[in-house]
Structure 1
Amino acid sequence: MEENSQKHLAGRRNFIKGVGLTVGGTMLSSPLFGFIPGDMGWGEGNSKQKKLGIALVGLGRYSTNQLAPALQETKNCYLAGIVTGSPSKAEAWKKKYDIPEKNIYNYENFDKIAENQDIDIVYVVLPISMHAEFTIRAAKAKKHVICEKPMAINEEEAQRMVDACNANGVQLAIGYRLHFEPFNKRVMELGQNEVFGKVQSIEAINTSDMTGGSLDVWRLDKERAGGGPLMDLGIYCVQGAIYTMGKPPVAVTAQFGEVTHPAYFREVEQSISWKMEFEEGVIADCKTSYADENGKSTLEGQAENGWWRLDPAYVYEGKKGQTSKGKMDLPNIYEQVRQMDGQAESFRNNEKSIVPGEMGVRDMKILMAIYESAKNRGERIEIQY
């Protein structure tokens, strides 16, 4: 589930339409690597086609501050329903968004959503330990699914989610919003198209500070979160390195950082650093932490004839980028609008999303390999796909 402390900008921002990011060369065609030739994955859609109804499952900060407001601006989908265990939240959302009573569910009666023709897509925005259950239940209800990242607690659980959606003839996409926004799409082009020659090295850092606040948060509970900052923040680094290269790593090595706040990090890691090894020897150096008071969000690439850097790279708003040729003159967009419109369009057309469930399974395999290496004091773990 995606959630951070960044405040939602006051007022609604104008939706910025597709920006062309064309560069000569041949792009990789697999959605698993983040770029499809001729398709920026931004889904402008056709206004004459039916808008798909989305039900948000879990009404925490991300649903409240990002997804629900975004669904007031989307062209291919709209907020049709909600699923929550809180009656007070249900009543407040019902009034705020004019949601019909018949489109409001709790976690016990959720399966009745199968009978609701207003709802085409279920967006799972829950603690990670609940992703598999509600994705599989949604699939059995014959609803398409968007599941927040990271996809699951482990690879096996993630695969069950994909299998359930396939068995029920519905699509599954992961909430990887950065595949739909200009700065990270530009990085995909620079790396995959070898605009500055072959990539030589990558650095990705994503950190935050969870110390000083409450100890009673699900992200510090291994049973609910599956792990610590690697699962929540490090997944962005894994993704960033992969879509820079256009291919997954062949091996990883990792080590846990020192625990300086033991009261907070009794169950999950405080920090972890790792290297992702790609074919031809390219290394991505990555780091994530829940105890960095400065909070970093960067993605860098060094190639034969130039370099690029996003800073910040993964935040919801305010991205900046530059290359050895100068500043990236690109717009900051409402990413969740672009993401959900693109995913809804692929569902409507019965096409595989550019961020499909299989991508989530791949990434879970990598995250588990990183943990295995760290637990074994930096042992090199080769990854089989």
Structure 2
Amino acid sequence: MTSEVSRRGMLGLGVGATLAIPAMTRAQRPLPPHREQDSVGVAVVGLGKLSEGQILPALKRTKGVHLAALVSGVPEKAKKWATEFGLPDSAIYSYQNFDTIARDPKVQIVYIVLPNAMHADFTVRSFKAGKHVLCEKPMAVTLAEGERMIAAGKAAQKHLMIAYRCLFEPVNVSAMQMMRKGVVGAPRLIKTVMGKQTSLSDPSDAWRLDMAMSGGGALADMGIYGINATRYLLGEEPTEVRAWARTDRNDPRFKTVEDMVAWQMKFPSGAIGEGSSCFSQPGTMAWQAIGTERRLVADPGCFYNGNAVRIVGGKDDDQPRVAEIDHFGNEMNWFADVVRGRAPNVAPGEEGLQDMRIIHAILQSVRDGGATVKTGFGYKRAYDPATVVGIRTAI
């Protein structure tokens, strides 16, 4: 792979660079004031928009995890970031020599930030190299790939976590907790709307508009947020889905993927989940939870920052007051704690596979003209994020 492929193309975040001391070797350099003594080293694979705009800036402020290596198809870009972080040239890897990372003891975690079709290959290679893996979502393109990733992690006895950042983000964690406490009454309906405008001229959009690379267009890229949110807000798994699509095949963006997909999910409690994803609308990542007594409304609810949740039908002094936090820093710190045995893995490969199964069921229903597709896959979360993830106010 000779050119870099962008992973995300939304909001950016700039943070000041960490200081390096050129006169000292890397081993001799004192730890930055913010870093814990047993901070875990991470290699970031892929230097696209998400890595450059969110992940690398977050790694300048994290306490439990730090940047130890970079993997890129663009040497100049990797060199720039290595210099900024004070990393030696030996900490830069290409996609071709990636497997030699097995000999790098400074790297304990590999964070895969590549197009979806590349996730499975690099996850398996990372496990073979003896590393733990944090992988962007959706975890893969096919169910077989997802299952192969999980099996590889178990064989290597290493952790696999899927990067569901909202499971560690205060607005969504507080909403889960309110749902469990019955703030809305008995849950009746969860509505999610996820979408943005795309352009084939933007490399970060182009691969998402390719079914072979993305595995599902807007549904896989944006809809997965709504599917996951519906599940974690209700604390249940759907038993069946129905779905429909509206796509203009004359639009060059939608030759292989659907544009707008809308779906309904039925849950054991009787609650209904309604969601939509779209690649031809203004940027939207919103949800609301409607119960017998009140509503929770988050608009936006899943952006990189600026999210907020309010109770409709509640008193002013009942409104949640949640501080802003760096989603990616908190997520990476959590996984570092998982690796060190200090925290449970609330987003293992099985969690990613569950969403993939639902995505595939939705696409099956679309192909069958909105027919009901059963989704009783037998999955049950090992840990409820509402219970085990605290609401942190800083990285």
Given that 1:171 and 1:352 are in contact with CA atoms closer than 8 Å, whether structure 2 keeps it comes out as: no
Counterpart-to-counterpart distance in 2, 1:59 and 1:131: 14
Local SS of the residue matching 1:231: helix
1:101-157 CA deviation, whole Å, 9 max, x = no partner? 222111111111111100000000000000000000001111000000111002221
Where does residue 26 of structure 1 map in the other structure?
Answer: none
Cα deviation, residue 187, structure 1: 1.6
Where does residue 227 of structure 2 map in the other structure?
Answer: 238
Match status 1:170 vs 2:175: no
Given that 2:36 and 2:64 are in contact with CA atoms closer than 8 Å, whether structure 1 keeps it comes out as: no
- Seen in structure 2, the aligned counterparts of structure 1 residues 273 and 245 have a Cα distance that, compared at 3 Å, is same
Given that 1:151 and 1:174 are in contact with CA atoms closer than 8 Å, whether structure 2 keeps it comes out as: yes
Where does residue 367 of structure 1 map in the other structure?
Answer: 359
Amino acid at match of 2:356: M
Where does residue 18 of structure 1 map in the other structure?
Answer: none
Amino acid at match of 1:370: I
Structure-to-structure mapping, 1:38-187, within 5 angstroms: 49-187=37-175
Q: Percent identity of the aligned residues?
A: 33
Cα deviation, residue 11, structure 1: 4.2
Amino acid at match of 1:343: F
TM-score when normalising by structure 2:
0.85
User: 214-223 vs 271-280, which deviates more?
Assistant: 214-223
Amino acid at match of 1:368: H
Where does residue 386 of structure 2 map in the other structure?
Answer: none
Local SS of the residue matching 2:254: coil
Match status 1:296 vs 2:301: no
Q: Which residue, 309, 315, 326 being the options, matches 1:334?
A: 326
Amino acid at match of 2:122: F
Amino acid at match of 2:59: L
Where does residue 244 of structure 2 map in the other structure?
Answer: 255
Local SS of the residue matching 1:279: coil
Q: CA RMSD in A?
A: 1.9
Counterpart-to-counterpart distance in 2, 1:374 and 1:306: 32
- Seen in structure 2, the aligned counterparts of structure 1 residues 333 and 101 have a Cα distance that, compared at 3 Å, is same
Amino acid at match of 1:298: A
Given that 2:175 and 2:309 are in contact with CA atoms closer than 8 Å, whether structure 1 keeps it comes out as: no
Counterpart-to-counterpart distance in 2, 1:5 and 1:178: 15
- Seen in structure 2, the aligned counterparts of structure 1 residues 183 and 347 have a Cα distance that, compared at 3 Å, is same
Cα deviation, residue 247, structure 1: 1.4
Match status 1:353 vs 2:353: no
Given that 1:207 and 1:290 are in contact with CA atoms closer than 8 Å, whether structure 2 keeps it comes out as: yes
Amino acid at match of 2:364: E
Given that 2:15 and 2:60 are in contact with CA atoms closer than 8 Å, whether structure 1 keeps it comes out as: no
Higher relative contact order (CA 8 A, sep 6+): 1
- Seen in structure 2, the aligned counterparts of structure 1 residues 360 and 140 have a Cα distance that, compared at 3 Å, is same
Local SS of the residue matching 1:295: strand
Counterpart-to-counterpart distance in 1, 2:15 and 2:87: 21
Counterpart-to-counterpart distance in 2, 1:79 and 1:119: 9
Cα deviation, residue 6, structure 1: 2.0
1:178-235 CA deviation, whole Å, 9 max, x = no partner? 1111110112112233233210111001110014844882111111111210000000
Q: Which residue, 5, 10, 14 being the options, matches 1:5?
A: 10
Structure 2 unaligned blocks of 5 or more: 1-5, 18-33, 378-395
- Seen in structure 2, the aligned counterparts of structure 1 residues 205 and 381 have a Cα distance that, compared at 3 Å, is same
Counterpart-to-counterpart distance in 2, 1:309 and 1:104: 44
Where does residue 176 of structure 2 map in the other structure?
Answer: 188
- The alignment of Structure 1 onto Structure 2 pairs a total of residues equal to 351
Cα deviation, residue 305, structure 1: 1.6
1:155-192 CA deviation, whole Å, 9 max, x = no partner? 22111101100100100001111111111011211223
Structure 1 unaligned blocks of 5 or more: 14-45
Where does residue 306 of structure 1 map in the other structure?
Answer: 294
Where does residue 207 of structure 1 map in the other structure?
Answer: 195
TM-score when normalising by structure 1:
0.87
Cα deviation, residue 297, structure 1: 1.6
Amino acid at match of 1:174: I
